[in-house]
A and B are shown apart, each in its own frame.
Chain A
Amino acid sequence: AQTVTQSQPEMSVQEAETVTLSCTYDTSENNYYLFWYKQPPSRQMILVIRQEAYKQQNATENRFSVNFQKAAKSFSLKISDSQLGDTAMYFCAFMGSGSNTGKLIFGQGTTLQVKP
Chain B
Amino acid sequence: DSGVTQTPKHLITATGQRVTLRCSPRSGDLSVYWYQQSLDQGLQFLIHYYNGEERAKGNILERFSAQQFPDLHSELNLSSLELGDSALYFCASSVAPSVRSGSYEQYFGPGTRLTVT
Q: A residues touching B (Cβ–Cβ < 8 Å)?
A: 33, 35, 37, 42-47, 50, 91, 95-97, 99-109
Contacts and interface: CB of A to CB of B under 8 A. Distances in A.
Interface in B31-62: 31, 33, 35, 42-45, 48, 55-56, 58
Contact of A103 (B2, B56, B88): B56
Contacts of B96: 102
A70 B99 CA distance: 18
Interface in B64-117: 88, 90, 92, 94, 96-100, 104-108, 110-111, 113
B97 A43 contact: no
Given A105-B45, A106-B43, A43 B55 contact: no
B45 A104 contact: yes
B42 A103 contact: no
A47 B43 contact: no
Contacts of B31: 102
Contacts of A99: 56, 98
17 contacts: A33-B99, A37-B108, A43-B111, A44-B111, A45-B90, A45-B111, A46-B2, A46-B108, A95-B99, A97-B99, A99-B98, A101-B48, A102-B48, A103-B45, A104-B106, A106-B43, A108-B42
